[in-house]
Amino acid sequence: MRKDEPITALLHQVAAGDKTALDRLVPLLYPELQRLARSYFRSERAGHTLQPTALVHEAYERLVKQNQPDYSNRAHFMAVAAQIMRQVLIDHARVRNAQKRGGGAARVTLTDGASLKMEPGGAIIAVDDALTELAKQDPLKAQLIELRFFGGMTAEDSAEALNMNLVDVRRHLRIALAWLQRELDRTTSSGEKI
């Protein structure tokens, strides 16, 4: 029996509407969800009020409340979980920034196309705003950025999750990274607070 077979079977049960299957699935994927959550916090400020375990739990609560897509595989499920975690962090940052009402502008950088640095001061919101704009222009490129930086997925993982050619994924990702960096640089240089 292959390692993924029980997970794949549970994913299909979840898609078929079996809510108890999700309760059986999450413990199997919990270490991966924890690793994903920890990756979000590597570049966050010290003392962040939301911790990786809380992020996983909040994402799970949101996940059970939504209609479940027909997950094609583990990578697809993790991509959906990454998107939900991103939204939890965005919501948390918006609340935190609304409470602060101010602060200095922060610089957001993409280094070597490999990591997204989010500094205090609403940078994650600036990234979210830029991705929302990119999604209006090119949803695929926005999804690839999200999978890569918020989902921690490699180009290979993204190609599998989206059923795409790896060369095409890498090409779209390079273009998307350049666009996103230009947007973030423009936002920072215009003096807007992020």
More confident residue, 35 or 124: 35
pLDDT for residue 120: 46
Residue 160 lies in a domain: yes
Q: Which residue has the higher pLDDT, 4 or 80?
A: 80
Residue 118 has pLDDT above 50, yes or no: no
Question: Would 149 be classed as within a structural domain?
Answer: yes
Domain count, the chain: 1
What digits encode the pLDDT tens for the residues 153-192?
A: 789 988 887 889 999 999 999 999 999 889 888 877 665 5
Distance CA 2, CA 60 (A): 26
Please report whether residue 121 resides in a domain. yes
Q: Please give the pLDDT value at position 45.
A: 59
Give me the domain span that covers residue 31. Answer: 5-189
Residue 194: inside a domain, yes or no? no
pLDDT at 174: 94
Q: Which amino acid appears at position 88 of this protein?
A: V
Structural domain contains residue 119: yes
Cα–Cα distance measured from residue 171 to residue 35, given in angstroms and rounded to the nearest whole number? 27
3-class secondary structure, 117: strand
Q: 154 in helix, strand or coil?
A: coil
Instruction: Let me know if residue 111 belongs to a domain.
Output: yes
Name the more confident of 39 and 89. 89
Residue 115 has pLDDT above 70, yes or no: no
